[in-house]
Structure 1
Amino acid sequence: MLDQFDVTKRWPAKDPSVIQLYSLPTPNGVKVSAMLEETGLPYEAHLVSFATNDQFTPEFLSLNPNNKIPAIIDPDGPGGRPLPLWESGAILIYLAEKTGKFIPQDPTERAEVMQWLMWQMGGLGPMLGQFGFFYAFGGKEIEDPRPLQRYTNETKRLLSVLDQRLEGRSFVAGDAYSIADIAIWPWVRALFTGYKAADVLGLESYANVLRWHTGCADRPASQAAVDIPSQS
């Protein structure tokens, strides 16, 4: 069933009956790994290594022409047909609807979850990614201070938005853990881990964010997801 997808030539499926995940434990990758772990859906994880430019190979591009991780193939998609899917937010929504988990059925509550998911996809993720580039990676070599200052300020602003939202709340949208939380916490985690920017951003001042992040990151599914697919 999966042999119609060229990506399986480079990353063969051991069990073609389960979801195939093509990813790397970056913030966007961790989102989908965490969701799969949380839902209990059976899956196989395939490492798409940036070190060897796997994301630019013809096989991966046949699945995601945008050359980004993560991507999945669900052999048991709608109508029992295989479904290839990319973009982490779209995958979270699909898996939530497939399982009925981490997304409310009430239309108002559902809209609130989607609102914060879109906030992560359109704001928090891209802006924190730019901050990370200019603070921790290749952008450090740029002498002009304005790009780093711009994204530092925007990261702090977004953290303030999140901190205010979490005042008196356990979760970002409503009373239950949702795909909004799953989408957001890996990016907050990156500020500590990949970027090592806690001091420059003054993360200790965002008490609600820290409390919430600890609760999200300590979940068993989250702890597993940060090493899926394993790079060792």
Structure 2
Amino acid sequence: MSRLLLLLAIAAVVYILYQRARNQPPHKRRAEYIKLGLAVAVVVVIGLTLTGRMHWVGAALTGLLVAMRQLLPTLVRLFPMLSSLKSRAGQGGPQQSTVETEVLRMRLDHGNGNLSGDVLKGPYQDWYLDEMDRDQLDELMAYCQQQDADSAQLLQGYMEQRFPGGAGDTGTGQQQGNGGSDGGMNRREALSILGLDESASDDDIVAAHRTLMQKLHPDRGGSGYLAAKINEAKDFLLG
């Protein structure tokens, strides 16, 4: 009877961990499933070893699995970092502009003008926008409209690019031309918006501004909010 209760308890814990993994953003699920699989394997090996059904090799494998489970989070974080460093080294410099609001962090690829981003808070925290479908983005838009107007305007620019002609009912209207600025921009933020580093000259700032405006100007179907932020960043940096 006690053995049955133990098995039921283990099954319940595994189910809870599985549901937790399913609720993670898609790009995090694989790592969670791997950790869950290792945990189950450790439990099985320990059980077989304690009941005498597995040789001492089982205990060694258990130790190895435990060590792997402890190292996995570090490896999961390390591989993207190495990939990012390799990518930056190959590019020879920043190739993205970054705009951050209370709810969102948005990136603009200088090469193709595509927007991508991730959610910083709210019901979809840690999700990538590219992982979300239209219904999820609409739900996020409703949250942004309640929490932060800048985030709503930024998200609308992304949705207008991803769903051409289909994001006009978000309720943000045409108020995005002012950029939603509260006058609190600093040099680091301004450089990030233009995709520049601290060594950027005035000529670099002007050139980056011109290139980005060609890709994002509202008259060319771009985001009015991002265009306003780019103008604000240039004005701040050039004084």
TM over 0.5: no
TM-score, with length taken from structure 2: 0.25
**Which has more radius of gyration?**
2
Structure with the bigger percentage of helix = 2
TM-score, with length taken from structure 1: 0.25
